[in-house]
Amino acid sequence: MGSYIVRRLLALVPILIGVTMVAFLVSRGLPGDPARLYAGMQASDFEVQAIRESLGLNKPLYHQYWIYMQGLIQGDLGFSLRTGFPVAEDIRNRLPATVEMVIFALAFALAVALPLGVWAAVRRGKLIDRFSRFISTLGVAIPDFWAALILVMIFFVFLGWAPPPVGRLDLGASPPDGTGFYLIDSLVRGEWGTFRDALGHIILPMISLGFPAIAPITRLTRNATLSVLQSDYIAFGRASGLRGAPLYLKYVLRNSLPGAITMTGLISGYMIGGAVLIERVFSWPGVGLYAYNSLERTDHAAIQGVVLLSAITYLLVFLAVDLLQSIVDPRVRLK
């Protein structure tokens, strides 16, 4: 297992270098002049040129990239022209909000998709199977941001059950001290009012982000479970007297998991990127909203930092998927 992990980590190094190059070039290709935006539309050409020189934007691209990599090696992602703070600090302050929403959205998707997929395969052709197909089709057809708008309109505008879609807590409420994960921090500190407030605010973003993920996980779990149910060892197990939970949990579900694990990894990586629109709809103060605002202002350093964070998240998720696959199926380590 140790050598397997080392091989996977070494394989990530060239990918990360490639990602930094792509992020750098894409940010430089965005329309607009960051120096002009930073100086203001009323600034003179001399002032704009002075800002451009101070930011190093007057140097060749390869020299700018070299400066960027030097800072990156030291953990310096640069300064945001929009906020005036280091990008690393901006991301660190906003990352818990995004991670908390993604974790709850993924947990919601898995809690619905895994049992639904297994049950639909076991009851193939029955009502639950048709229901799973309907949910899968609905999840593929509805974009997450559109689902978010519909949920806000129904549960906030019409029914009044949900809190205003602004932030993680009610306006004027004080966030709990701790890690930045409001639900965990308020739960640990026993601040039940804050916990209920944070839970109420996260439910709609969680459903909006997690609902589209239900479709692929359900379909893959159903197909994998059908394949397992038709295998010889399951037939032998049934002939040996295995029934109910021991059969489905120990043999069917475990052998259906590898595909679901891979799909979950892909979905969780997608959620980090998909959170941009969800955070925009709910004014969720996370990395996604930070990226959206940075794109509007052509903030090179902030855009590069968010892209790099997304890439590292994807790679870490895929590494975790590989490790889980190697635990579920040890044969993977030999590949």
Digit-coded pLDDT (tens) for 218-234? 888 888 888 777 777 66
Q: For 231-280, write each residue's pLDDT tens digit.
A: 776 676 677 676 666 666 666 666 676 667 777 777 777 777 778 888 88
Under CATH, domain 87-328 is a member of which superfamily? MetI-like (1.10.3720.10)
**Band of residue 203 on the pLDDT scale cut at 50, 70, 90:** very high
How far apart, in Å, are the Cα atoms of 152 and each of 52, 144, 163, 257, 280?
Answer: 43, 12, 9, 34, 13
Q: Count CB atoms within 10 A of the CB of residue 187.
A: 17
- 179: Cβ–Cβ under 8 A, 6 or more apart, which residues? 96, 185
Written as six digits, the tokens of 30 are 């965005």
Using one digit for the tens of pLDDT, what is the confidence trace for 109-155?
888 888 888 888 888 878 888 888 888 888 778 888 888 889 999 99
Q: Which two tokens stand for residue 287?
A: 């990395």
Query: For the chain, which residues make up each domain, given as ranges?
Result: 2-73, 87-328
Q: Would you say residue 210 has pLDDT above 80?
A: yes
* Residue 3 CB burial class (10 angstroms; 0-12, 13-18, ≥19): exposed
Contact at 8 Å (CB) between 105 and 206?
Answer: yes
Higher pLDDT, 44 or 157: 157
The pTM of the full predicted model, rounded to 2 decimals, is 0.79
HEC string for 5-63: HHHHHHHHHHHHHHHHHHHHHHHHCCCCCHHHHHHCCCCCHHHHHHHHHHHCCCCCHHH
Backbone φ and ψ for 52, nearest 5 degrees, come out as -65, -40
Identify the band that residue 316 occupies on the pLDDT scale cut at 50, 70 and 90: confident
The contacts of residue 49 (CB under 8 Å, 6+ apart) are: 35, 58
List all residues 6 or more positions away from 181 whose beta carbon is below 8 Å from its beta carbon. Answer: 96, 99, 100
Residue at token pair 């997690």: 210
Read out DSSP for 248-282? IIIIIIHHHHHHHHHHHHHHHHHHHHHHHHHHHHH
Is the distance from CB of 302 to CB of 291 less than 8 angstroms? yes
- Greatest CA separation for the chain: 86
161-180 tens-digit pLDDT: 888 888 888 887 888 888 88
pLDDT at residue 193 in the model: 87
Q: Which residues pair with 86 in a beta bridge?
A: 79
pLDDT band at 325 (very low <50, low <70, confident <90, very high): low
Going by C-alpha positions, the residue among 286, 256, 283 that lies closest to residue 271 is 286
d(CA 119, CA 275): 30
- Minimal CA–CA distance to 287: which of 77, 50, 87, 75? 87
List the one residue out of 5, 98, 30, 3 whose CA is nearest residue 302.
Answer: 30
Determine the angle formed by the axes of helices 192-229 and 144-152, rounding to 10 degrees: 140
> For residue 126, what are its two tokens?
């029955």
Confidence band (pLDDT; 50, 70, 90) for 305? confident
Overall average pLDDT of the 206-214 stretch: 88
Token reading at 47 = 């002032």
Residues in the chain, total = 335
| DSSP code string of 82-96 | TTSSBHHHHHHHHHH
When the pLDDT of each residue in the chain is averaged and rounded to a whole number, the result is: 79
